[in-house]
Amino acid sequence: MHKKRNTTLILAVCATVLVFGFIGWFLVAIFEGEKPKIQLGPIPVFLTKTAEVPLIVTDAERGIRTIKVTLKQGTRHITLLEKRFSFEGLLNAEGVHRFETVLTINPSEFNQGRADIEVYAWDYSRSSGGDGNLTIAEHKMTVDTIPPALRLVSPLNYVNKGGTGLIVYQTTSDAVKSGLYVGKRFSPGYPSAKSPEQGMHVCYFGIPVDTTKGVKLFLWAEDKAGNISKANLNRSIHIRNKKFRTRKINISDRFLDEVLPYFAPELKDPTLENVVKFLEINQRVRKENNEVFFGLRTDTSPKRLWEGPWLRLKNSATMARFGDRRLYYYKGKIIDEQIHMGVDLASLASSKVGAVNNGRVIFADRLGIYGLTVVIDHGQGLASTYSHLSNINVKRGQDVAKGDVIASTGLTGLAGGDHLHFGMMVSGLFVNPIEWWDNHWIKDNVIRKLGTGYK
């Protein structure tokens, strides 16, 4: 009998434990604290055009009750999405546990400026006084669909093919980058030192020697949201055609014997014939060297560093001009063709080379066909280059004043005799230095424009 009573007691206890256990489990289940998960995005930081924004809400336990998406602009709340889900099956087992959608956000429906997206998701838990667990996801955004305004200030702009041009233009203050395109070539503008608050910019640009008649010239500006403005300048910038010379250059075996040893580090195959080595230097090495020059265009002061007339190597004769089309002959046959992108000046051997204007040294090293080379930045994308030097007196990063001796002439690199190869660059493009040695040209094309009150 005792045994049976004990068994009944044990069964009763077990049943009670089970019932309470079940009630406990049920309460834990309906009051569960697991919050819904929200996956929003990617969303642009700046809304410039209609954006499709993916939204995924998941809730593993009791499932999703409500989702609300709003766009907040100041005190204004605009509902983008509001969805209620019904309770289905035991403990919402058959309800919605995962919801996926794509929000279409059209900036034309909102005001310009700050616009924050807020996503609210509640689940079917009885927690929080029966409201369920709540998850909030926020994303800060700015509606900006207005591109920066652009206005050309300098009205008449004549530029020579191969030469330099300067325009003065104005942008609205939200423009973060602006400048001029000549075809695909971009020259950035720099805020005018006198009145940057008015959005005034100066922009030096070059016209490549091979520019064709229909080249597109346009002002370009971008704001931080990525909105872009363009203004056609084909009627405001007039390109004057310039004829360049053609020159024959005879490559002798003696010349090759003299210059080739210097290029041993640049040559991939030392067993090649001399004339083949020469072609590799004149083509591949030249191209690589020009890329180094081009790469220096961003290392420039946003402020103008130069002042007054530009110097020219003292007591020197011009041996080759900018834009000369050079035809290379070997044993009576044409083997190559290149355009000379600087001016060759010859004086006495090892003549002292002065900085042509104030600036900062941005390159002082050996550079392939150009030999020992110095590049000086004069600000706002303007630079001068000095090549075939026999020695260099300055270091990269050093400030130099007009006339400071920076080097001596020589014949390093691809040079037949002691001379200075001098180049002028505008935003990475070699231009004709002749203009910069001409005070009348500077007065008419630079000072007059800057003199309108902008530097």
Output 327 or 450, the one with its CB closest to Zn ion: 327
Query: For residue 265, is the peptide bond before it cis, meaning its omega torsion is within 30 degrees of 0?
Result: no
Q: How far apart are CA 40 and CA 409, in angstroms?
A: 64
Per DSSP, 287 falls in state H
Q: Using alpha carbons, select from 184, 219, 206, 147 the residue that is nearest to residue 435.
A: 206
Q: What's at 64, amino acid-wise?
A: I
78, 71 Cβ separation under 8 angstroms:
yes
Give the three-class secondary structure for 254.
helix
**H/E element holding 440?**
helix 439-442
**Minimum Å distance from CB 400 to Zn ion?**
22
**Minimum Å distance from CB 340 to Zn ion?**
6
Q: Provide the CB-side half-sphere exposure for 66 (13 A, CA).
A: 10
**Minimum Å distance from CB 258 to Zn ion?**
17
Residue located via tokens 């509001």: 82
Output 222 or 344, the one with its CB closest to Zn ion: 344
Residue located via tokens 């049920």: 26
**Minimum Å distance from CB 180 to Zn ion?**
28
**Minimum Å distance from CB 453 to Zn ion?**
39
- The residue whose Cβ lies closest to Zn ion is 421
**Minimum Å distance from CB 336 to Zn ion?**
15
Binding site for Zn ion (CB under 5 A): 342, 344, 421
**Minimum Å distance from CB 265 to Zn ion?**
21
Output 118 or 266, the one with its CB closest to Zn ion: 266
**Minimum Å distance from CB 313 to Zn ion?**
12
Q: How far apart are CA 133 and CA 117, in angstroms?
A: 20
Output 373 or 380, the one with its CB closest to Zn ion: 373
Output 346 or 446, the one with its CB closest to Zn ion: 346
**Minimum Å distance from CB 338 to Zn ion?**
10
Q: How far apart are CA 347 and CA 318, in angstroms?
A: 9
Output 344 or 435, the one with its CB closest to Zn ion: 344
**Minimum Å distance from CB 370 to Zn ion?**
9
Residue located via tokens 């290392």: 299
Output 135 or 318, the one with its CB closest to Zn ion: 318
**Minimum Å distance from CB 373 to Zn ion?**
12
Output 56 or 348, the one with its CB closest to Zn ion: 348
> How many C-beta atoms surround the C-beta of residue 12 within 10 A?
10
336, 282 Cβ separation under 8 angstroms:
yes
Output 125 or 387, the one with its CB closest to Zn ion: 387
Q: What are phi and psi of 343, to 5 degrees?
A: -120, 135
**H/E element holding 181?**
strand 175-182
Q: What is the CA radius of gyration of the chain?
A: 36
**H/E element holding 354?**
strand 352-354
Output 341 or 392, the one with its CB closest to Zn ion: 341
**In 129-179, where does DSSP find H-type helix?**
none
Q: How far apart are CA 257 and CA 279, in angstroms?
A: 14
Output 39 or 246, the one with its CB closest to Zn ion: 246
Q: How far apart are CA 421 and CA 390, in angstroms?
A: 12
Contacts of 18 (CB under 8 A, 6+ apart): none
